[in-house]
Structure 1
Amino acid sequence: MAALGEIVEELMDSYDLLDKEWRDDDKSRFLQLMIRDGCFLLEILSKNCGSEYGDYEYKDPSFSSHGLLKYYDVMMADMLMIENQVPLMVLTTLVATETEATADHQSNFLFQVDRGMELGSYKGLHLLDLTWKLVIGQPHGNVSDYLDLKPVQILSASHLYEKAQVQLMKSETNNLNDGIRFDNGVLRVPIFRIHFPTFPTESVLLNLVAFEHLHAGASQQVSSYIDFMSALVNSAKDSSMIRNINAMQTIWNDEAVPKFFQKIRNDMGFNPCYSYKLHDMALTLNEYCIKRSKWRRQLHEWGSTLKENYLKNPWTFIALIAATLLLVCTIIQTITGLLSLKYNNRY
């Protein structure tokens, strides 16, 4: 408690409109709450880092092998709710007090939020902030990067392919900052995992959106990503296309995935502004589709004219073939004559 007591004022200032009852003279109740919440969260994170079950009874509802198997993902999602955040200073202070660890060691222990992934040197306000930075990657931009941008309509994956032959590919990175890219007719998207039924992905995404909406200076990359994916995956056919490039991991069927994105999009309750990067990518994608659609329409018109004027009557078709062969032979004869003339002039 002594270590946290040195930073108690800073911890209290982390909470908006903290009740007076927590600001008593010795502040012991507030420090006890911080220690209890911090230790509980550290215990959950330690299980994610591969810690053993320790001295817990096999009937323990939370930390026994059975409890963790059944409730771990739910507890982690609950710890990521915006109203349940504990200042990161509490966690780092508790770890340093217990293990006398260096800052790098604390990072390896604390920031292993997602299985198999480490945040390393990422810094943040609390666990939700760290998770947000893990999802979007760094740098994440400023809120000023999202102002004065007009909405851009995104076509679904199936329409992009049908109208402009846009190919989908899995991105090399999973973060949202660099994961969505379009270049030379190829749209790259990061892997999206829906950990259902054990992990409430919808709750986590909505809390990340709430953090972006409420935190001053935060970008809207998660909100923009949800809006982008709700447009890109608009039908079971779109979902199948994303699944076929291994950019979606879920046990849901193709009909359920578009409903998932549409529900989250509707629950957001506001229209997110795209970042300049995503906005420019969307404009480039739309311009590409317009140009390809124009050429496809022109080719279709030429094909229709050819079929209408020359392919209905077999004699007309034979005459067309003969004229084409004659033209080809004339071109070959002309080229041969020019080459012969050039050869004769040389010698």
Structure 2
Amino acid sequence: MRLALGQVLYKQLRNAATTSEEKKEDKDSWVVVIQQNFELYNPSAYHTKLAKRSIYKWPNDLVVASDFIWYHTPQLASFGPYHHGKKHLQPMEHHKERALYRILKRSKASLSNFVNSLRQVEQELSDSYDDLDHQLSSYPFLKMMLLDGCFILELLLSDGQPNENSSDTYEPIFRTDGKLTNTVAFQDMLLLENQIPLLVLRKLLEVVERREIKDDAYLDCLICNFYEFKSMPIDRPGLHVLDVYRKCLIMDSTTEEQTTPSVGFIKSVFLQCEPWLYAISQGIKRILLAIPILVFRLLSKQISKPGNMRSAMRFHEAGIEFKKGNNSGLKISFDEKHGVLTLPYISIEDHTAAIYMNLMAFERMHPKIQNHEVTTYISFMDDLIDTAEDVSLLCSRGIVRNLLGSDEDAAKVFNKLGDGMTFTPDEELYEDLQSYVASDWNAARAYLKRNYFQNPWSILSLLAAIALLLLTFIQTLFSVLAVTKGK
């Protein structure tokens, strides 16, 4: 009995020791795994993979900061794998198949030609996506690229005119005036998570046109025309529709070289002397304007120096004039000499906030974008527009076109665009503006112009007051001189 009891105790102690050793090995197993991964780690492999990416998911902090889910979620059609298969997007799958059938019928090419063309670049297409589900097999991925690519291509090729077939008269999608075209184009095709590589469209076009296409110039023009941009060459190959839209938006179309015609001798001399004449005229203008400003300062309360002004109304009160830019992309410039701030034209619609939010998210996520032009522009406009009065002022200058219910709604659009975004302001522009509005001279001149030079009667009354003051001063001076001579 004692022997059996001893054997049981021995087995229990041995099992306990074995379990302890196994637990220790389990605790240290992660160390072994990390060591093995470290030995296999290749930094260049990560950067090579990163360089191939162009389509991203929204960062989680932006998803949390944004109150509107349609900023990053398609409403009618999914493009690419991130939102593919969602229930509310299924009705549009029928129209994707229709797009494929339309292209097949028009091109008279076989379906296998389209599939084989995409299969040749399948790996490159899958590498374009960040955080792609590895469980997605080849067959559904190629089918998705084919149907999505045909749908977008058929949209871009739509000319708004019905075909000879009378059934196209009621076409809801593949016409520029289709009932659903605008929603798909502006709310779904311009979402960061809802993109397919432009390479898909190029490979499909090669099959349709039966020739090799070496660049995306034709596709770039199709996308620019589709979104009513002026057709212009894109400096670098486009990655997807959102990328081409951004390039069209920020591109400066006024940088073309212009030849200067020859001028005569007298005109050339005048042009050389023009800077001096301008300086002299400005000096005379300052002298003439200094008199009423001096009188104004003597007769009225002291003007307080403007502080850290940013809103449009406060800039306007400080004497800054607003001017609409002319085909200069998103370029903002300030002429400190004349106090003129030039801003690009922008139309505020229901989809405006979603488009700019996705453009800024793309600039943040894509490592090859060095200059965040859209983010810088929105950063400035967010500071410039605080209230409905700011929107009203910019609308009156032709800079903003408000298609929303009220100016207050338009102001909320810009204020909402700042949620979760890391802005990159143009420090040089801010410094020039603050330097201008901090000037006593500019502040006094702006106040005088705003309160006394708005209509002829106020100007006449001010001139009369100045003349009366001068006459009083002259009369007093002569009286003093007469008393002095009498002594």
Give the TM-score normalised by the residue count of structure 1.
Answer: 0.71
Structure 2: how far apart are the matches of 1:59 and 1:135? 32
- Secondary structure of residue in 2 paired with 1:93: helix
Structure 1 match to 2:286: none
Q: Does 2:188 match 1:37?
A: no
Q: CA deviation at 1:254?
A: 2.5
Q: Any idea what SS the aligned residue of 2:386 has?
A: coil
Q: CA deviation at 1:113?
A: 4.1
Deviations 1:128-171 (A, max 9, x none): 111111222269xxxxxxxxxxxxx65112111212x1111001
Query: Which of residues 326, 332, 344 is equivalent to 1:180?
Result: 332
Equivalent residue for 1:285? 433
Superposed, 1:289-304 pairs within 5 Å as 289-292=437-440, 296=444
After superposition, residues 102-251 of structure 1 pair within 5 angstroms as 103=215, 104-122=217-235, 123-137=237-251, 155-163=310-318, 165-176=319-330, 179-183=331-335, 184=337, 185-196=339-350, 200-218=351-369, 219-251=371-403
TM-aligned CA deviation for residue 34 of structure 1 = 0.7
Is the 1:154–1:228 Cα contact (8 Å) retained in structure 2? no
What is the root-mean-square deviation of aligned Cα atoms in Å?
Answer: 3.1
2:136 paired with 1:22: yes
Give 3-state SS (helix, strand or coil) of 1:188's partner: strand
CA distance in structure 2 between the partners assigned to 1:93 and 1:70 by the alignment: 29
C-alpha distance 28-235 of structure 1, shift in aligned 2 (>3 A): same
> Structure 2 residue aligned with 1:52, among 138, 161, 185?
161
Deviation at 1:94, TM superposition (A): 1.1
- Tell me if the contact between 2:323 and 2:343 (Cα under 8 Å) persists in the aligned partners: yes
Any conservation in 2 of the 1:92–1:106 contact (CA below 8 Å)?
Answer: yes
Shift of 1:87: 0.4
2:288: which partner in 1? Answer: none
Secondary structure of the corresponding residue to residue 145 of structure 2: helix
Q: Distance in 2 between matches of 1:41 and 1:319?
A: 79
- Structure 1 gaps of 5+ residues are 140-152, 301-310, 328-347
Other structure's SS at 1:117 match: coil
Q: Is the 8 A contact 1:14 1:87 kept in 2?
A: yes
C-alpha separation in 2, matches of 1:52 and 1:319: 78
Q: Is contact 1:113-1:131 (8 Å) kept?
A: no
Q: What is the rounded CA distance, in whole Å, between the counterparts of 1:325 and 1:45 in structure 2?
A: 83
Three-state SS of the structure 2 residue aligned to 1:193 is strand
Q: Render the CA deviation track for 1:83-117: whole Å, top value 9, x for unaligned.
A: 11100111111112212465444443344342143
Match of 2:412 among 259, 280, 293: 259
What's the CA shift for 1:8? 1.4
Partner of 1:87: 197
Partner-residue secondary structure (3-state), 2:135? helix
Matched AA of 2:427: H
Q: Tell me the distance in 1 between the aligned counterparts of 2:399 and 2:179.
A: 27
Q: 1:72 aligns with which of 148, 161, 181?
A: 181
1:296 is aligned with what amino acid?
A: A
- Is contact 2:345–2:400 with CA below 8 Å preserved after alignment? yes
Percent identity between the two aligned chains: 28
> Taking structure 2 as the reference length, what is the TM-score of the superposition?
0.52
Pair 1:237–1:8, CA change in 2 (3 A): same
Greater Rg over alpha carbons, structure: 2
Deviation at 1:228, TM superposition (A): 1.2
Q: 1:325 to 1:225 in 2, by over 3 A?
A: farther
71 and 290 in structure 1: CA distance in 2 versus 1, 3 angstrom threshold: same
- 1:6: Cα distance to partner? 1.6
Structure 2: any 5+ residue segments left out of the alignment?
A: 1-114, 254-307, 449-464, 481-487
The alpha-carbon distance between structure 1 residues 209 and 106, as it changes in their structure 2 partners (threshold 3 A), is closer
Partner of 1:21: helix, strand, or coil?
Answer: coil
Measured in 1, the distance between the counterparts of 2:309 and 2:421 equals 17
> For residues 320 and 12 of structure 1, do their structure 2 counterparts lie closer, same or farther at Cα, with a shift above 3 Å needed?
same
Structure 1 residues 232 and 319, CA gap change in structure 2 (3 angstroms): same
